[in-house]
Structure 1
Amino acid sequence: MSIKLGELNDYLELAEECTIPLQEPEAPKGEVQLRTREEVAALKKQAKEERAKPERAEISLQDCLACSGCITSAEAVFVQSQGGARFMQVLTDNVEAGFRPVVSIAPQSLVSLAVHYNLPHAEVFSKLSAFFKTNGAELVSTNEGQAEALRDFIREFEQLAPEQLPLVVSSCPGFVCVCEKQNPEVLPKMSRVGSPMAYTAAWVHSTRPEGTKHLSIQPCFDRKLESARPEFQPGAATEVVISPFELVDVISDKLGVDSLESVESDSVAVDPVPEGVSGNYGEHLCAHYGVSNSEWRPKRRGNPDFTVSEAELPMKGGPTRVMLYKAYGARNIYNVTRMVRTRGERAVIEAMACPGGCVMGGGQCPAPDSVGHKTFAGMVHDAWDKLEVAGLDGVRHSEVVRQTFIDHVETAKDATTATMAQLQW
């Protein structure tokens, strides 16, 4: 018999390796003066006595994200600040104020819920639509937000010359925050493309009456903190973010998923792009230009979260052989930053903080006790593959809604600074 201990670092204090420096003002520079040893000793003693204690560092949730593990308790921090109870309270308050709030769900979150309930994706989406409709809200997918992010990414890539590579692209707030705090030299190489959640929020606020709240179901806790960034207010604001397993608790408290009826929905699924569980930026580049890329392979043996492919892509100056990377998880974040620092490779690098990518995000429904992690990961990836092939089983926005998104999000992007590189997190 053995006992397995876990969550041993699950505390709410500042981590020892906290990367937020305590800034002290620089002493003013004056003229050089010659002094005797006695005078120098007296001045040192006086300075020591008069030196004021530095102010205590104030660190908010907006600062921490996934940078150093300071905030490791989902129950005590994230769930209390943006949990299911607040999610439903904001939704109810918005309905009572005369609005129809919009709830968006990431496709990765939908996959997690489909595996948890052992139901087809479309049926889960339909039941969730019924649940939120009963509570006065509308459910949409962030897939169209992802499509707009990919459109922006293509526009950005088309403006680059080969010597401006590498380009690091990420919709992951955890990765961006790590770079800002520990590896600022990566920021100039970072794509300006925002997250699907931010684009979806911009669409909601551009097309719905002022005062309509946007809430979202996302696969990781970092999205909660992304929504708290002041730079997203008000043009791309997401009021509350919860994870799939928090949503399961909300539904269970209400009536249970089996009691939910199914309804038709106008939500969207863009045409699927294979082989991607997060942003699919490299695949989308190849699909856009109609070129094929080599088979994805591990960059290093035994590291499936750091893969590489290559393709010949049109760039300013002519066709260019470009390396395509996917780097998921903390250790591979440092591989990425090392690549950017030490060599100017002609590469496009997709980086996410969660091992396994967004589909295995920290907020997803956990594996049952009887199922091992490796087996469960296989189940989740199989479900994701089915989602891609089915294209959310044919559920799509109408073309009117799709075009409305495209038209209005452009206006919203002009009015807000909600893009990754512009924010300089």
Structure 2
Amino acid sequence: MYSSGSIEYEYGNVYVREKGELRCVNPTRNVPQFSRLKSSYKLFAKDFSVRLCIESFPPNKCRKRNDHFIFTYNSEGSLRYTAKSLLDISLLFIADNIEHVESLIGFPEQMADKLFTAAEEKQKFTDPSTSARGLQVFSEAYGELVLKSLCLRQRCLLLAERMEEIRVFHCLETLDLHGCRLGDSHDFFSHLTSPACTRLIKLFLGANCLSDKGLQRLTAPIRVMKRGLENLQQLDLSSNPVTEKGLGYLTCFHKLCELNISDTNVQLDSRLKSFFRSKMSMVSSASPLQTFTHSECRTEGWAEQVINQWENKAAELPKKNPKPRTNALQFYGREKFVREVVHSVCNHNQSEDKTSIIHFHKLDLHTSPGHTADTHTHLNTQRGKKRKFSREPEESAAKRSASPCPLSAEDLELLGSY
């Protein structure tokens, strides 16, 4: 200690360890009490005590760390606790600060799975301030392990609320957006045509009010710049106001194997069949294809529970009662009118269920020779000579060479918007 005038020191006992034993260097027990130097200034009194009040701090500033211990009961009913391993404590610390991690590239997958589960338990992927960054760290390092297939069927509200997080998943192979009300100018189209969706194999865009203009926007990057959905193999365009003009934009999908155009503004006739056969080497399927039953489309990956948490959180929003106010309708005498409207809506839904199914699939001569023979005879009934089969590829090649370039002024104007 020190004073304002002169510096006075007060020493205690000094111990030194030698050969495993402690030895006192300057014992003060033999020194007289009056000869010890004492400081003339003391900071605290003798009866001063300090108590750390953690509960008085805000919860976001200081929290009790009780997650580092495992509490159990013994056979006698007494509470016992044991400390977690250093590895588990480290994973909990990283999960609690996952938004500040720069990269996980090179981190073992087994540890990353545990880290993802720990971050999920801490609600890091449901908090809007940390969800996008946390999912991006995992998606950049592990790709399809985080999310390989995403099903957002009839979940337009979830797509609107979590669009920033969904754009993070750049290794999706299956994406179901049936009934999400995208239209022709949705912001999500810029993501579908970006390099983040080049791995997409299955894409379901049914019941999205998608017209020919939307198909033109969807196929513009691959038609002109040869990038985008170039690996697409299954495409669902059912229940959309698409015409034959819009189907012409689909010829850029060279790997397309299965197509669903049911309940559109297209009629299944010989002209449509010849178009798909000559331009895309596809034939009409006599039976519905299993791909478009949506039985195999589901969310797969580490983030499966995260998507379910998003949906549960979105379902917590208050919903309006869909039942009509019967008392008011009876008072104003409109109950009959409402019943007729409801009956017409039910009939419309039943008519949608009875719509004709129009499925096309790739003509594969190696896997199903019997089926292709049936399609040949079906397409060429009352014409059937073998020479016509050999002339069809030559005629189709001549038509392709005579067809104008697909790049038009509308395409150039559309590309300027990207």
Q: Does the alignment reach a TM-score above 0.5? A: no
Higher helix share: 1
Could you say which structure has the greater relative contact order, defined with CA pairs below 8 angstroms and 6 or more residues apart? 1
Bigger Rg, structure 1 or 2: 2
Instruction: Indicate the TM-score class for this superposition, using the shorter chain for normalisation.
Output: under 0.3
